[in-house]
Structure 1
Amino acid sequence: MSVVNEGSDLNGGAGERAPVPPPEPTVPLDSISVPEEVRCLVDYSPIPAVVSDPRLPDNPLVAINDKFLEMTGYEREEILGRNCRFLSGPKTEPFLSDKIREGIDQRRPVLVEILNYKKGGEPFRNAVLIAPIFGEGDELHYFLGSQVELNGQELGPSPTRAARASELVKTLSPRQAEVMKMVASGLRNKQIAYELGLSEKTIKMHRGLVMEKLGLRSSAEMVRIAVEAGI
């Protein structure tokens, strides 16, 4: 996840940022508790991923996987309990920050390709996906954030990736695409089963078929493909 600071150079002139110590955590670290099923979303993700809790002050990170630490250069204890805005810097794009905030405020998935900064100040283009995770009664519990560091030739939103994602989704059956869309909207298996009038076992089967057919390794990848495809 990412929150923008200031600066506006979209695709060029992104110099390094002087290393900035992370802020103090907004919640006591020993008070952070995350259900195992939510923690697994990041622990088993093949790409950098985090979970934040919007019910806590300043929507802090409550789960972080090792790949995120490797990508950004931070240690887990430096950023746990803090909002993810520490990734922003002088050339981070404000209009993309607004898009992220709108997604969070509206409790819907959002995907942006934003300029972020690593711990040492090195800038990088970050394809950030943020998706809500709902509990019972449509209560917003968490946000799942996954990141992909783009190479130097990918300095903006990629129509190629969007087209590729759309083609992948077209290979799914209508029911599989429907389940994929509901997963991307933040619903869990039990909630999807209720909405569609199916058993939870059937929903798990459809999710498994989607993962197998599209060659995906995690729910985070499924959500990313769904958002890129615009479903």
Structure 2
Amino acid sequence: MSSDDKVSVLAPLGNGLDKLIAASPIASVISNPRLPDNPIIACNRAFCELTGYDASYVIGRNCRFLSGPGTEPWLSETIRRGVEEHRPVLVEILNYKKDGTPFRNAVLVAPIYDDRDSLLYFLGSQVEIPDDSPGPSSTRRIRAAELVKGLSERQRQVLKLAADGLLNKQIAGVLGVSEKTVKMHRAILMERLGTPTSADMVRVAVEAGL
């Protein structure tokens, strides 16, 4: 598949996870930790446009192909540990595009679980930080914190559990509410946070330090 495709998937993903990144304007991938070396199994058009790589190259590879001479090994290790410990990680790391152009990359990696609390996939998203921007990552974090602060306690609970990788049914069980109620809260959250997809909603939660 070419980078013109909205989302490219190596194999069908359960629970509609392919839709998790398809409509996102943020460069995003989904990887499968149950396969050797946690390869990417889906990527959206925004990822291909950001990195310059076609989906045919991206699918089946670990995200390490974005690393280069200046990539900070300690930040790569932070991502590796987050994956190993199944927890969300947000770092700003130097990566490289296909043509060799380096760029400062705000990378989010977050786990996604099934109904039995087994790890299914990892969601990864990338935002390029412009060189001439004075601390855009701080700006994003401040904006995210302000957005989250305006939510109700229940909405923050739903957002935190979603950011931890829980699915609607699991969130309902933790909070003692119906799955329908969780879906309602998620819809409200996406509207209030201005996020077009669940993946973008999760990124706001992590940027806010939730």
| Deviation at residue 136 of structure 1 after TM alignment | 2.5
Equivalent residues of 1:112, 1:157 under 8 A apart: no
State yes or no: 1:220 paired with 2:199. Answer: yes
Q: 1:127 aligns with which of 96, 106, 127?
A: 106
Partners of 2:171 and 2:82 lie apart in 1 by: 21
Q: 2:46 aligns with which of 25, 43, 67?
A: 67
Uncovered stretches (5+) of structure 2, i.e. residues with no partner: 1-8
Deviations 1:34-76 (A, max 9, x none): 2261111111212111000000000000001111111111111
Equivalent residues of 2:52, 2:99 under 8 A apart: yes
Identity of aligned residues (%): 59
State yes or no: 1:178 paired with 2:177. Answer: no
Partners of 1:140 and 1:132 lie apart in 2 by: 7
- Worse overlay, 113-122 or 159-168: 159-168
Greater Rg over alpha carbons, structure: 1
State yes or no: 1:208 paired with 2:187. Answer: yes
Q: 2:130 aligns with which of 144, 148, 151?
A: 151
Partners of 1:228 and 1:141 lie apart in 2 by: 23
Residue-pair matches, total: 202
Q: How does 1:1-231 map to 2 (within 5 A)?
A: 32-35=11-14, 37-154=16-133, 158-231=137-210
Query: Residues 155 and 81 of structure 1: is their aligned pair in 2 closer, same or farther, counting only changes over 3 Å?
Result: farther
Deviations 1:126-172 (A, max 9, x none): 11111100013211010001111111134868333222211111100
Uncovered stretches (5+) of structure 1, i.e. residues with no partner: 1-29
Higher strand proportion: 2
Normalised by the length of structure 2, the TM-score is 0.91
Structure 1: 4+ residue segments shifted above 6 A = none
What secondary structure is seen at the aligned counterpart in 1 of 2:17? helix
Deviations 1:154-193 (A, max 9, x none): 4868333222211111100000000000000000101101
RMSD: 1.7
Equivalent residues of 2:88, 2:111 under 8 A apart: yes
